[in-house]
Amino acid sequence: MSLLWLRVAVLLYGIAALAVLPAALYDRPRWRHIAIPATIAAVLFHFVSLAEMLSAAHHRLPVDTHETQTLLGLLLALAFLVVYWRYKTVSLGIFILPICFLLGLLPAFHPGQESTTFPILHTGWIFLHVALLLAAYAALLLSLLASLLYLVQERRLKQKSPTLPSLPPLETADQIALKALLFGLPCMTAGLLIGSLIAQATVGISYFRDPKILLAFAMWLVYIAMIYIRRHAGLRGRRAVYLSSFVFFVVLAVWAANQFSDVHRFNAP
């Protein structure tokens, strides 16, 4: 049944992704009444599907690529709903909802068959480690998208063109970007600390020579530097986009380092 619920969620994400376009780009509020309820329903089906998927696999956290994609898509959809509830803007849905649709598409129709015999994965601590880091990555992506929207509105103002009413005001976009970063930092910090404790108990000091771990801590330092620069230097607009983009590429590098990571090959003996 988990695949059925996930397929329903993917269908609803697709409907919401289509409906949000006229709502955000052409200022048609009636389409918003389709996009938001469809997203809420998709999140509910998505959550049920993920819970059943993990229960059927007898573990409480994602352990393969498809399960991780499913959790990340759910976190992004929840982030979009939180932003809408707080700021009443659907503009970020132009980017986030298609991403949620794509993240759920492959697990829904081509589910993975990977399994693991790594005993530590069946504990609640590793679940917190994965969930907190995924929440931090989702917050970083949300911040990058909000900074891009800020840049679009700022450019139109400098060109003395009318601002797009479907996009949030400059101050709102900047607040979304900053608050997303402030939310993501404690998630990333706690996730890295929990992962460090687990790895120390399983693989020992070699944990700190793993390329993915070194990049993850480097990303954490860059994350802190970005928040400090934004808050104390008033960084906005193009420079904020460049900085967020740089950190996002560091995140991609951390994910790519999984190919060379010994700690994160859970099927290893």
pLDDT in tens, 131-189: 888 888 888 888 888 888 888 887 777 777 776 677 778 788 888 888 888 888 888 88
What single-letter DSSP state applies at residue 119?
G
pLDDT in tens, 103-133: 888 788 766 544 444 454 445 677 788 888 8
Range 22-60 burial, b when 16+ CB lie within 10 A, else e? bbbeeeeeebbebbbebbebbbebbebbbebbbeebebb
As a whole number of angstroms, the distance between CA 167 and CA 69 comes to: 28
Would you say 141 and 80 are in contact if contact means Cβ atoms under 8 Å apart?
no
pLDDT in tens, 12-44: 999 999 999 888 877 788 899 999 999 999 999
Share of the chain above pLDDT 90, in %: 19
Q: What residue ranges do the domains of the chain occupy?
A: 1-115, 132-269
As a whole number of angstroms, the distance between CA 12 and CA 15 comes to: 5
